[in-house]
A = this chain, B = another copy of it.
Amino acid sequence: MPFNITTVVFSKLQTLFTSDHASVVSLNLFVALLCACIVIGHLLEENRWMNESITALVIGLCTGVIILWRSGGKSSRLLVFSEDLFFIYLLPPIIFNAGFKVKKKQFFRNFITIMMFGAIGTLISCTVISLGATYMFKEMDFGSLDIGDFLAIGAIFAATDSVCTLQVLHQDETPLLYSLVFGEGVVNDATSIVLFNAIQSFDLSDINFRIALKSIGKFFYLFSASTMLGVFVGLASAYIIKMLYFGRHSTDREFALMMLMAYLSYILAELFYLSGILTVFFCGIVMSHYTWHNVTESSRVTTKHTFATLSFVAETFIFLYVGMDALDISTWRVNDRPRTSLMVSSILLALVMAGRAAFVFPLSYLANLSNKSSSENISFREQIIIWWAGLMRGAVSMALAYKQVMELGQTELRKNAVMITSTITVVLFSTVVFGIMTKPLIRVLLPHPKITTSMLSEASTPKSSTMPFLGSADNSFDDNLGAAHRPSSIRELLATPTHTVHRYWRKFDNAFMRPVFGGRGFVPFVPGSPTERSEHNLLHKESSESDVCNF
């Protein structure tokens, strides 16, 4: 009988939402600040140093100072951070939009590399940070940290925030780099959250080989079940909208259904104790591949922009909040020795940098080994950018830190305070200092971004209209579609599976999936598709089938 509890839970809403004028005041302030962030972010768009995240953080900090002063040094926040508010309302639109906008072709072509960086890399990073923290913090005295705490610290600081870097890189100028940084960012978010939940749910007092194996098994179960759920909900939405042909009566119904089903995929995953973040990401991918092509033109434009805007507002909201929260006196006060806190933060920052270096360069070497063509290799300069892109820590780290503090309970105030203050310091420092350095660094490392030749010179021929999807170095792929690949070297051997899988997937998609679930079908290019930004003039009506699909 879960419904009795439910009524009780929601009855709290009633006491919460009573017409309290104070909550109207803070709601006003928050919405006004969001508007200010948007306007100022727009004005600073062409600024060399700033970006949207830093703007929101700085505005949050300034507001925090004002509130602190108004309240007589008591508190700097308008609302207490709730990690569930974050995980239930703010994160889903961000991740869904990531899946909806990801260049599927690039993503799946680099699938293995992205997975290496995102999953194995995060594990390596988490291990390095955990071990480093265990070793370094042993001498300091801030409560007794056990192995679970150290692993949690590892998971918290393994969660990267690549927003800063993505605002500087461009999908069309550096498609490979963009797709690697973007893909890794999404997979990293998912991995660190799954990892963190796994660490919290296991009994870590006695670890043995069987439990470790069980953990790995559970990790893979979570990963595959979440993915399948996302794909299932996405396909269901495509099927329903295609079968019932909603556009016939109302654009708004299509849009509402897409939005609600996307959100449904996330909360269904939460219902089954899966990873909502992975589910909603794959739901986004499937929706942009099938559902999005089944709706009317207006719905396409609307969904594309609305999902992007929701994601953008949620991100701004988070940074605004983190900035405001940074000055909160109550957490800083408990932590009586600021020198300790500063040292802990510095150590963590160093560990973050080391942990990331420990996997970016070795894994890039491995990825380069598996590439057929040398033009697809990740150069050393690009490796530095990938390394740099993951140094910033953001909202996910904050949310996980708060979750860990909740778990520990109010009794262990000292440990909590260290955890929160050091997380805030690392997030603030990395976002502002590293963030400001990102634009100049990338300008130095990539002075003349490689423009894909196909985009500039061959854009007028129908065949090449699909080239931007295929990436800059994909010349041999489509031509060889019919011929069987014979692996002749270790590179070929490593590269073949991805290409073969992709080829079979395309055949399967055309033969079985599209007739049922709709999707792009035989139109070579859809202008304004959610994954495209600048190829608005490349519409060609030829229904040449083989070089069409980008999934």
Residues of A within 8 A of B (CB): 1-7, 9-28, 31-32, 34-35, 38-39, 41-43, 45, 67, 70-72, 74-75, 77-80, 82, 84-85, 88, 240, 244, 246, 249-253, 255-257, 259-261, 263-264, 267-268, 270-271, 298-299, 301-302, 305-306, 308-309, 312-313, 406, 528
Contact = CB atoms under 8 A, between A and B. Distances in A.
B270 A42 contact: no
A5 to B, nearest CB: 4
B11 A42 contact: no
B27 A78 contact: no
Contact of A3 (B67, B82, B240, B309): B67
A19 B84 contact: yes
Nearest to A273: B21
A506 to B, nearest CB: 30
A381 B302 CA distance: 40
A78 to B, nearest CB: 6
Given A264-B31, A267-B27, A12 B10 contact: no
A1 B35 contact: no
Contacts of A244: 39, 42-43
Given A5-B22, A10-B80, A244-B39, A256 B75 contact: no
A291 to B, nearest CB: 13
Contacts of A406: 18
A548 to B, nearest CB: 25
A26 B38 contact: no
In the A-B complex, list the 4 residue pairs whose CB atoms are closest, starting with the nearest: A10-B79, A17-B84, A302-B305, A5-B22
Contact of A1 (B70, B79, B270, B305): B70
Nearest to A11: B80
Contacts of A85: 13, 17
A43 B244 CA distance: 8
B17 A82 contact: yes
A149 to B, nearest CB: 20
Contacts of A23: 6, 9-10
